[in-house]
Structure 1
Amino acid sequence: MSKATEPERPAGGAEPKATEPEAGEGRRMSRRGLFGLGAAGAAVVGAGAVAARSLLDEPPVAHASSASDPYPFYGQHQAGIVTPAQDRLHFVAFDVTTEKRAELVDLLQEWSAAAARLTQGKEAGSYGAVGGAPEAAPDDTGEALGLPASGLTLTIGFGPSLFDDRFGLAAKRPAALADLPKFPGEQLIPEISGGDICVQACAHDPQVAVHAIRNLARIGFGRVSVRWSQLGFGRTSSTSRAQTTPRNLMGFKDGTNNLKLEDADLLREQLWANAQDGSAWMAGGTYMVTRKIRMMIETWDRTSLLEQEQIIGRDKGEGAPLGKKREFDTLDFTAKTSDGQPVIAADAHVRLAHPSFHGNAHLLRRGYNFVDGSDGLGRLDAGLFFIAYQRDPRKQFVSVQMSLAKTDPLNEYIKHVSSGLFAVPPGVRDAGDYWGRTLFD
C-alpha cells in the first residue's frame, strides 16, 4: 500500500520528534495510543456514487470505479454492509482479554484510526512498515506494500458476551441481541462460534483483506485474542443490482432475491436499527448473523439434476423459478403441474425461505464460499460461510432458519457447524469518532 508522507527520521534511527500533522494525518501519541486520526480519503467517492445527502438521511453508497479503488470509511452506516459485495473475505471473532473498560475504549479508537487508513490504501500506522525506528516493531506488517485499496471495507460487531459484567454494558444490551435458539439438526462447534467482537474484512484482493485483519490483531495484542477466523472467496450474494448473481458450491445461483442497496425503503424498514427499537445507541446500526454451513458436496454431486432443482425450487442453469424462464421472474407458489402437484414443492428451499411466509421478513445476505482443505476422509471441508444483516434477528433470521431447519430437504446435504450473532453499531462519522462510541457514551 502507498505510504503516507512521514516525518524525517533523525540520524541514529531515533524516533522523530512529534510535529503538527499534515491535513488528513494524525499525531503520533504513543505506541499504544491513537495513531493516524486523520480523515485521509474519507471523501473519496468513486464514479457512479449515489448523490450526496444529509447524514440525517440515508448516506450515499460509493461505487468504486475499479476493483482497486477505495470506499469511504466515514458515514452514518458502516461500510461493508450495503457496499457492493467484494470477491474475498477474512472474518475474525475476538475475545476481549482485558477487563478494563478504558483499555477497550482505547483499542476501539486505535482500531478505528487504523481502519480509516487501511481502507484508503494506506499502512496501518503513520510510520508504516519501514518508517519508524529500526529498534522498534513496525507500525504495519508490510505484506500489502505496493497494493491498492482493492475496495477494502472493515465492519465491526459486538457479540452478546461483551455485555456481561466486565465493562458495565449489561444494561445496554439490545433486546434484538437475544441469544439465538438451538435449531434442529445443528452441530455447532463452540470453539468456532460466538466471540466478544467480530471484524469482517471484504476486499477484491485476499492479501489486502488478510493484511487488514492481521494488523488489527497486532494492534489489539494484550487486549484481545483471536477466537476463530474464516477465509472466504467467491461472494454468494449480490448487494447491488449492478452485480450479477453468483453461485454457491452446489452450483446454484445464490441470493437472487437478496436485499439490494437500491432498495431504500426496504433497507429503512428491514435493515437499519432505529432509536425507537429500544437501544438508542444502535440507531443507524444493524445486526449480523454468521453461520458456517458445511456442505456434503460429494453426496450432492451424485444427486440427479432433477432432484437438485426440486430441492432448491429453481433451475440450475438460468436460476429461474421452476415453471418460469428467467432468473428474476416472480416466484409462483400457486402453480400446479398437470397432475395437480405444486410446480415449486411445498418444502422447496425457496418457498421455505421466502419473505411471504415470514411476515415479509427480509435479510441482506453477504456470504462467501469456503474450502478449508479436506476432512481426512477424502472429502472436501467446504461450504458456505453465511452472513446476514437485519434489523431484528428474532423476527427475521430466527423465523426463516427455524422453518428451514425443520423441513428443508437440503438438510440432508448440509450441516451448521458455527454460529455468531453481533450488534453492528452505526458508522464512524469523522476522525473524532470511533467504532462503538455511542455504546460507551
Structure 2
Amino acid sequence: MGGAAPSRRALLGWGGAGLALGAAAAGGTALAVGREDTAVPAASSGAAVPFHGAHQAGIATAVQDRLHFATFDVKTKDRAELIQLLKDWTRAAERMTAGQAVGEGAYGGPGEAPPDDTGEALGLKPSRLTLTIGFGPSLFAKGRFGLEGKRPGALVDLPKFPGDNLDPARSDGDLCVQACADDPQVAVHAIRNLARIGFGKVAVRWSQLGFGKTSSTTPDAQTPRNMMGFKDGTRNIAGTDTAGLEKHVWVSQKDGPAWMTGGSYLVARRIRMNIETWDRTSLTEQEDIFGRDKGEGAPVGKAKERDEPFLPAMLPTAHVRLAHPDTNGGAKLLRRGYSFTDGTDGLGRLDAGLFFLAYQRDVHKGFIPVQRSLAASDDLNEYIQHVGSALFAIPPGVRDKDDWWGRALFS
C-alpha cells in the first residue's frame, strides 16, 4: 500500500477524536470503454477496478470471489454531518480501491495516537476491490434529513411473500456498502475502516460475509455452483451487454428521480438452505426441482448448459421455469449472489445458504414479480427460507475527484 496520503490534519473530521481512519487494498483491471463500469474487468490479481465512472463499480464488474456486505443505521441527526461522512467515505473508497493507505497508514505516525490504517491489509494485493453504496427507504423518512420528497417510487417497502420468515435484525438499514474482492481480508478491511470513519455518526446494523460467488457477469467463464451443487446464474446479464444493462439494470432519465439517473436498485435477501434435508433428496428429484441436470447444467431435454430452455418440458413447479423471463413478463435481474455458512443453528444443522444480491432498473418490473412467481409454487421452497431482506437505491457513480457518493441526492 503506497501513494501520497492526505495529512492527519486534513482528515480530522474522520471518526472521533480528530483521527483519520482507514487504508485498504483494492481491485482488478477494466477493458477500455471510457470510465463507465459497463465493461467487464479482467480477473487480474493485483490490479485495480477504476472507482470513477457513470455507474458504481461492483454491479456490472466481473464478480469477485468474496463479499463483505454491511448495512448501517445513521445515528447523527445533523444533515451536514451526514453529508460530510459521505464525502469522507468517498475519499476513503477512492484510495482503498486504488490500493492506497488512507491518511498516514498503519505505522510511522504519532505514537500517542491510534494509527490511521488498521493494518490488516498491509502487503496484500489489491484483489479487485469494489465498494458500492446504497440508500435505504428509512433514510427518506419525514423529519430526518429533508429527503422525503426525493424518495424514488421504486424504493418501496417490499411486500411480504409467502414463506418469508424475516428477522428484523438481519433486514433493512439506512445505508449499505457492498465490498467485493478476491481476498476476504481485503473486503473485510474495507468495511471495517468505513465503519471506523463513521464512528459516532453511523453504526453497523447487520453484515454478511460471502464466498463462492453464485452468479457471473462474464458468460465466457465457468458458471459457479451454489450450495446445492447446481450451476447458478447461467442466464445472468453480462457486464458487456450494454443493451441489456440499459434495459434491465440502469435507471434512465425518464424513470426519475433525476438524482438516480445512472443508478440501480439492489435487493438483498438472506436465504437459509435446509442443507441436511436437501442432501437426503434423490438426484432425480433435485434435477426436477431445478429444471436442469446437475452435471452439465443443461435444461430439461437439452444437451448443453446454455441451450435455450424449453419450459413446457419442465415441471410447472420447476425453479428455472418459474424464474424465467417468459414466465414473468420479460423481467430480468443482474445477480451477484454469494454462498454463506455462519456456524450452526444450535440443533446440529449448518446455518448455510445463499446471500442473494440482485440489481435492477425497477423492482416493480424486476424482483417483485419474479419472487411472487417463485414464492407461490416453486418446489425449491421446501428446502429454503428467506430470513433477511433489504432494498436500497444505488446512486450513480462518482464522476471525478470533486464528486461524492449521493451528491445529487443532497444537492
Change (3 A) 1:6 1:299: closer
Shift of 1:357: 1.4
Correspondences of 1:34-183 after superposition (within 5 Å): 46=29, 49-53=30-34, 61=39, 63-64=41-42, 66-123=44-101, 125-164=102-141, 165-183=143-161
Q: Do residues 316 (structure 1) and 294 (structure 2) align?
A: yes
Q: Is the 8 Å Cα contact of residues 270 and 356 (structure 2) preserved in structure 1?
A: yes
Give the distance between the partners of 1:173 and 1:65, measured in 2 at CA.
36
SS of the equivalent of 1:275 reads coil
Give the distance between the partners of 1:70 and 1:211, measured in 2 at CA.
16
SS of the equivalent of 2:209 reads strand
Q: Is the 8 Å Cα contact of residues 37 and 60 (structure 2) preserved in structure 1?
A: no
SS of the equivalent of 1:398 reads helix
Give the distance between the partners of 2:5 and 2:66, measured in 1 at CA.
31
The structure 2 residue matched to 1:253, chosen from 209, 224, 231, is 231
The structure 1 residue matched to 2:279, chosen from 296, 301, 309, is 301
SS of the equivalent of 1:175 reads coil
| Structure 2 unpaired stretches of 5+ | none
SS of the equivalent of 1:234 reads strand
Give the distance between the partners of 2:132 and 2:77, measured in 1 at CA.
23
TM-score for the superposition, normalised by structure 2: 0.94
Shift of 1:29: 5.8
- Equivalent residue, structure 2, for 1:409: 379
- Equivalent residue, structure 1, for 2:204: 226
Give the distance between the partners of 1:5 and 1:72, measured in 2 at CA.
18
Over the matched positions of the two proteins, sequence identity in percent amounts to 61
Give the distance between the partners of 1:398 and 1:359, measured in 2 at CA.
12
SS of the equivalent of 1:114 reads helix
Change (3 A) 1:437 1:131: farther
The structure 2 residue matched to 1:274, chosen from 221, 229, 252, is 252
Q: Do residues 347 (structure 1) and 317 (structure 2) align?
A: yes
- Equivalent residue, structure 2, for 1:11: none
Change (3 A) 1:65 1:256: closer
Shift of 1:367: 0.3
Correspondences of 1:277-296 after superposition (within 5 Å): 277-296=255-274
Deviant stretches of 4+, over 6 Å: 33-36
SS of the equivalent of 2:391 reads strand
Correspondences of 1:358-369 after superposition (within 5 Å): 358-369=328-339
Could you give the per-residue CA deviations for residues 53-97 of structure 1, whole angstroms, max 9, x where no partner exists?
4x6xx6553524512221001111000001000000000000000
SS of the equivalent of 1:274 reads coil
Count of aligned positions:
405
- Equivalent residue, structure 2, for 1:3: 2
Give the distance between the partners of 2:113 and 2:192, measured in 1 at CA.
18
Give the distance between the partners of 2:386 and 2:43, measured in 1 at CA.
37
Give the distance between the partners of 2:180 and 2:14, measured in 1 at CA.
27
Give the distance between the partners of 1:60 and 1:397, measured in 2 at CA.
21
Q: Is the 8 Å Cα contact of residues 40 and 217 (structure 2) preserved in structure 1?
A: no
Give the distance between the partners of 2:80 and 2:39, measured in 1 at CA.
33
Could you give the per-residue CA deviations for residues 399-440 of structure 1, whole angstroms, max 9, x where no partner exists?
000110110011000000000100000001111111111100
| Structure 1 unpaired stretches of 5+ | 8-14, 19-26, 335-342
Could you give the per-residue CA deviations for residues 358-397 of structure 1, whole angstroms, max 9, x where no partner exists?
1111000000000000111110000000000000011110
Q: Is the 8 Å Cα contact of residues 28 and 128 (structure 2) preserved in structure 1?
A: no
Change (3 A) 1:321 1:31: closer
- The amino acid across from 2:339 in the alignment is N
SS of the equivalent of 2:154 reads helix
Give the distance between the partners of 1:45 and 1:294, measured in 2 at CA.
31
Q: Do residues 426 (structure 1) and 407 (structure 2) align?
A: no
Range with greater deviation from structure 2 (305-314 or 233-242): 233-242
Correspondences of 1:2-21 after superposition (within 5 Å): 2-5=1-4
Q: Do residues 400 (structure 1) and 370 (structure 2) align?
A: yes
Give the distance between the partners of 2:177 and 2:339, measured in 1 at CA.
18
Q: Is the 8 Å Cα contact of residues 129 and 140 (structure 1) preserved in structure 2?
A: yes
Give the distance between the partners of 2:307 and 2:111, measured in 1 at CA.
62
- The amino acid across from 2:116 in the alignment is D
- Equivalent residue, structure 1, for 2:218: 240
Give the distance between the partners of 2:190 and 2:28, measured in 1 at CA.
21
Give the distance between the partners of 2:48 and 2:220, measured in 1 at CA.
18
Rg bigger for which structure?
Answer: 1
The structure 2 residue matched to 1:372, chosen from 332, 342, 359, is 342
SS of the equivalent of 1:117 reads helix
Give the distance between the partners of 2:333 and 2:406, measured in 1 at CA.
23
SS of the equivalent of 2:133 reads strand
Give the distance between the partners of 1:68 and 1:91, measured in 2 at CA.
22
- The amino acid across from 1:290 in the alignment is A
Give the distance between the partners of 2:374 and 2:146, measured in 1 at CA.
37
